[in-house]
Amino acid sequence: MADLPIFDDSQVQNVLCVVAHPDDMEYGGSAAAARWVERGASVSYLLLTAGEAGIRDQDPSDVGPLRAQEQRDACAAVGVENLTILDLPDGMLESGLDIRKRIAREIRKIKPDTVVTINWDVMAAWGLNQADHRVAGLATLDAIRDADNPWVFRELMDEENLEPWGVTRLIVSGVEPDYAIELSEANINAAVESLRCHKQYLSALGSHPDPQEMITGMTSEAGQSAGVDHALGIKLYKMR
């Protein structure tokens, strides 16, 4: 039964996607990025960490640069040209003013109409959510308000000349959806390719499902709920 409304994303022109790790965008989010890039929107990724603590038997000093490269490849697969990776510690993201200010800084620089982030709930579709994801999602929500408030992080204005900026909407992926973003076959293929780019990371995980099956499965399911072939299920929040 098609009961999930399609989100009219014609007003989405400048998008900032904020996630914790390399690969966080690649479980569906990158398919929407591919769609928006194809339509001429500007899409930027902000990763809060380089994911250096993500491979158990490899040293973080090797893994950070490796995963950053895999993310650059993943961005290229969906046509995303603007990637920023902050140096916050993987596995140890802390909620608080520092992380909010760092995200608010990027929001004021990029001036997005739309911010995308990941599920911040304790539970995720795949089980208990990860600590960095919870922190990243909530800090992003807070940073949207911070970026719009001239009296919060005044040094961003005074020292860096970054004026307040109001984001119009927040999109959260990986949650019980209330809208669907319709995706084309080409968007799906690009998203599969982007997930495959995290080659060494995925092989270190061992039992990761095949990217093609995984992305196709996810997006067909959401598509079915929305009455189209493929879609990404999202939660949509109006921010101003």
Q: What residues line the site for Zn ion (CB under 5 A)?
A: 20-21, 24
Closest CB to Zn ion: residue number: 21
Residue type, 146: D
Q: Which is nearer to Zn ion, 23 or 113 (CB)?
A: 23
Whether the Cβ atoms of residue 35 and residue 8 lie closer than 8 Å to each other = no
Rg (CA), the chain: 17
Q: What stretch of H or E contains 15?
A: strand 14-19
Name the residue among 44, 36, 84, 29 with its Cα closest to residue 194: 29
Whether the Cβ atoms of residue 91 and residue 133 lie closer than 8 Å to each other = no
Q: Which is nearer to Zn ion, 54 or 233 (CB)?
A: 54
Polymer length in residues for the chain: 240
Q: Which is nearer to Zn ion, 43 or 50 (CB)?
A: 50
Give the separation between CA 64 and CA 55, rounded to whole angstroms: 10
Q: Which is nearer to Zn ion, 12 or 232 (CB)?
A: 232
- Both tokens assigned to 53: 């603590």
Q: Which is nearer to Zn ion, 24 or 70 (CB)?
A: 24
DSSP code of 6? B
User: Least separation, in Å, of the C-beta of 20 and Zn ion?
Assistant: 5
User: Least separation, in Å, of the C-beta of 1 and Zn ion?
Assistant: 32
User: Least separation, in Å, of the C-beta of 192 and Zn ion?
Assistant: 18
